[in-house]
Amino acid sequence: MNAVLTGVWSDLVGQDVVVAALRHAVEAVSPVEGSRERGMTHAWLFTGPPGSGRSTAAVAFAAALQCERGGCGECQSCRTARAGSHPDITVLDTDGLSIGVGEAREIVRTAALRPALGRWQIIVVEDADRLTDQAANALLKAIEEPSPSTVWMLCAPAVEDVITTIRSRCRPVLLRTPSVEAITRLLVERDGIAEADARAAASASQGHIGRARGLARDPEARRRRADILGLPHSLRTLGDCLRAAKRIDDEATARANAYCDVADEREKADLKTSWGVEERGKRPAGYAGALSALTKEQDRRRKRMARDSIDGVLLDLLSFLRDVMAVQLGAGQQLINADVADDVAAMARDRSPEAIVEAIDAVVGCREALEANAAPLLAVEHMMTRFLP
């Protein structure tokens, strides 16, 4: 039975062991500014699978370190920390494919500042695995020799995703995939979802809390998932494969555009304001370069969001194929996609185990190709052709 987590820790579903370790570190900190006692260190590396709550844990820890009561969740410090407005907690995130050296140098300058209100100057780097080599090297010196009141918190899927020189200087914090029971309880108690619906969403999410919430709340998300899970058994011709691939690519592009179009315009307007650019006036020196850099970063964000959307489709397909193989092997394991058990059983009857293994290899290969920056449509088309009977 998981303990009931309160205060700033309440959103860390199924992470009791991690919370206990972080609480111990908070309690070990001396009230004397800049001192560090056993259990506390200057650099932390939060790792875990997608949806496990890496950045949530880091921000909760940051809030608890700033709070005079160790993370009560009610004081001004805790509230501003969780809202992202605490002056001494800086979160570096990225919507792009990478975190560049310019962003890294700016965050290093912030890390060197003395705290304005709290005891610590805390830097949270989400997606530290996206640091370029130059950016990682820019951070390395600051992490090696931090200011007395600075705490670094890096987040990445796995320890190996961060360069050796940085990870060797961080204390690791490994988050596990939340259980179906823990996510179900969260959806029922906090979101008011009916238990049967909550359990179905929790199972389908494969431990990703945000995705579980989306499936439980959004009928359109459930429809998209049902369409995806129906693909493997419906492909009969090469034309079917090409049409399915184009649809996946088009929908991913449309979802990325829906977000990025609005964000791009807002950011360009903010850039004009910051440079004092008038609609028909003369452009200040340097503005063209700043606009070009912003446009390139926006293009990277758009590509990343479309790619991530396709990757979500691939994960759904992998979960479906896993269920098919479990049925074929008589493993007796609970299905991830129990709501489409009839489709799973039908494909298990119609395809050989060897064909399912080949399909799984195709999905894994497509994910690797996308990670290597292959053209998404071509990668998905190639994958789909290997689903044919």
Q: Where are the beta strands (DSSP E) in 9-130?
A: 43-47, 89-92, 121-125
pLDDT confidence of residue 307: 94
DSSP of 250-279, one letter per residue? HHHHHHHHHHHHHHHHHHHHHHHHHHT--S
Report the chain's terminal Cα–Cα distance, integer Å. 45
Q: What is the pLDDT of residues 336-358, one digit of tens each?
A: 998 899 999 999 999 999 999 99
pLDDT confidence of residue 104: 93
- Residue 54 φ/ψ region, left for φ over 0, alpha for ψ in the -120 to 50 degree band, beta for the rest: alpha
Q: What is the pLDDT of residues 303-324, one digit of tens each?
A: 989 999 999 999 999 999 999 9
Considering only CA atoms, which of 96, 146, 160 is closest in space to residue 126? Answer: 96
Q: Which residue has the tokens 């304005």?
A: 116
Considering only CA atoms, which of 28, 38, 109 is closest in space to residue 61? Answer: 28
pLDDT at 93 over 90: no
Instruction: Read off the amino acid at residue 244.
Output: A
| Buried/exposed 343-356: b ≥16 CB within 10 Å, e otherwise | bbeebbeebeeebb
How large a percentage of the chain has pLDDT more than 90?
70
Q: What is the pLDDT of residues 209-263, one digit of tens each?
A: 889 999 999 999 999 999 999 999 899 999 999 999 999 999 999 999 999 999 9
CB-count exposure of residue 128 (10 Å: 0-12, 13-18, 19+): buried
| Buried/exposed 235-247: b ≥16 CB within 10 Å, e otherwise | beeeebbeebbee
Specify whether the CB–CB gap between 187 and 202 falls below 8 A. yes
Q: What is the pLDDT of residues 115-155, one digit of tens each?
A: 998 889 999 999 999 999 999 999 998 999 888 899 999 99
Q: Output 58 or 32, whichever has higher pLDDT.
A: 58
pLDDT confidence of residue 3: 58
